[in-house]
Amino acid sequence: MAKPTTSLRTYALTRLALVLPMLWILLTLVFFMMRVAPGDPVTAALGGRLPEKELQQRRHAAGYDKPLIVQYVDYLGDVARLNFGTTITDDRPVTDVIVENGSATLELTFWAMVVALSVGIGLGLLAGRLRDSGADVSIRMFGIVVYAMPAFFLGFLAQLLFGERLGWLPTSGRASPEVQFLLPTHTHLYVVDAIIYGDWATFKDVVLHLILPAATLGLIIAGVLIRLVRVNVLQTMKGDYIEAARARGIDEKSVVYRHAFKNALVPVVTVLGLQVALLMSGAVLTETTFNWPGIGFELVRYLNNRDYIAVQGIITFFALIVIFISLLIDFVNAWIDPRVRY
């Protein structure tokens, strides 16, 4: 019955090997989804705007005249080399889109996650500890109502209140036009770049623009986390080892913080991976609401223009991110909970 603990490294390698089938399935799904629409992407995007010969050339360049199976293999090969294609409508390598707009999204989701974790975990732990009290019920209700608010509604309210009525915070874009123009982009993460640039006014401008979108998205995710953490705390407090710790004379505060809370957060880490998917979905809405030039924003734009190659590239990128994040989460989980390693 005793099992030796596998090293973290063995676990990581095993996990990596297991994730490849899932990745393959995702990519296959993306590939076929993009070919459901009749005709080819080039015609769909540019048909009627360019002469037929030109269209044929482009089709050939993009490889759309080859048989399906060849296209499929090419696609997989491209993904392996991290080549996501070139957009049809504005001739940008999708990789550029990913880097420039992706970092905008990254910045937004990162800070949103910070908000979500601090608010969500903090309130969730509190609610679990004070079960069935007034505070517990209010926190639960808060969590439910906040999650019920679509990002665009919360954004709308935020813009109304903080933007228009109070005038405290900007409601659109990553930075004011002047700052946008002046800021040299090394990392494309404006906060980091502003720090490197060293100018206080620029930094302030960038941060102010970040507050509303990050808070909006973060609060919504916090709503989910609150309920999750609370339930886990309640489950954990019933554990046999909690009673055993009390029987050894450990004071209640230590029992709650060291045994209950820590153990309660472990399953939360697992579910954190799912929150990332939620985060990305929310990001699309938040970006549209606040005119934040992220990758979700671009995706919507390309979709409207029927630029299927761009869409395929972006969605593929998302698939890779999803797999990567789930791996990361599993890894962190194994690090925290030694029982999980095979």
Near other proteins in 260-319, by CB under 8 A: 262-263, 266, 273-274, 277-278, 280-282, 284-285, 288-289, 299-300, 303-304, 311, 315, 318-319
Q: Does 245 bind other proteins (CB under 8 A)?
A: yes
- Interactions with other proteins, residue window 196-235 (CB under 8 A): 227, 231, 234-235
For position 248 contacting other proteins by CB under 8 A, the verdict is yes
Task: Please give the C-alpha separations between residue 141 and each of 72, 249, 337, in angstroms, as whole numbers.
Answer: 48, 35, 31
3-state helix, strand, coil split of the chain in percent (to 5) is 75, 0, 25
Cα–Cα distance between 329 and 268 in angstroms, integer?
Answer: 10
Which amino acid is present at 28? T
Residues 77-136 that bind other proteins (CB under 8 A): 132
Instruction: Give the position of tokens 């005793």.
Output: 2
Q: Which residue lies nearer to other proteins by CB, 18 or 82?
A: 18
* Interacting positions 9-48 with other proteins (CB under 8 A): 21-22, 25-26, 29, 33, 36-38
Query: Smallest gap, in angstroms, from Cβ of residue 117 to other proteins?
Result: 19
- Interface region with other proteins, contact rule CB under 8 A, candidates 57-65, 74-82, 89-97, 257-265: 257-265
SS3 (DSSP) at 93: strand
- The smaller minimum CB distance to other proteins, of residues 31 and 197, is found at 31
2 φ/ψ sector (left φ>0, alpha ψ -120 to 50, else beta): beta
| Residue from 61, 76, 114, 160 in contact with other proteins (CB under 8 A) | 160
Say which residues have a Cβ less than 8 Å from residue 89's Cβ, sequence separation at least 6.
Answer: 45, 46, 302, 305, 307, 310
Query: Judged by CB under 8 A, does residue 68 bind other proteins?
Result: no
Place of tokens 């998205």: 217
147 contributes a contact to other proteins by CB under 8 A = yes
Q: For other proteins, which residue of 60, 186, 204, 246 counts as binding (CB under 8 A)?
A: 246
Stretch binding other proteins (CB under 8 A), from 64-72, 111-119, 180-188, 322-330: 322-330
85 within 8 A of 192, measured Cβ to Cβ: no
Strand residues in 28-144 grouped as ranges (E): none
Q: Which long-range contacts (CB under 8 A, 24 or more apart) does 130-134 make?
A: 131/234
Q: Is 175 in the site for other proteins (CB under 8 A)?
A: no
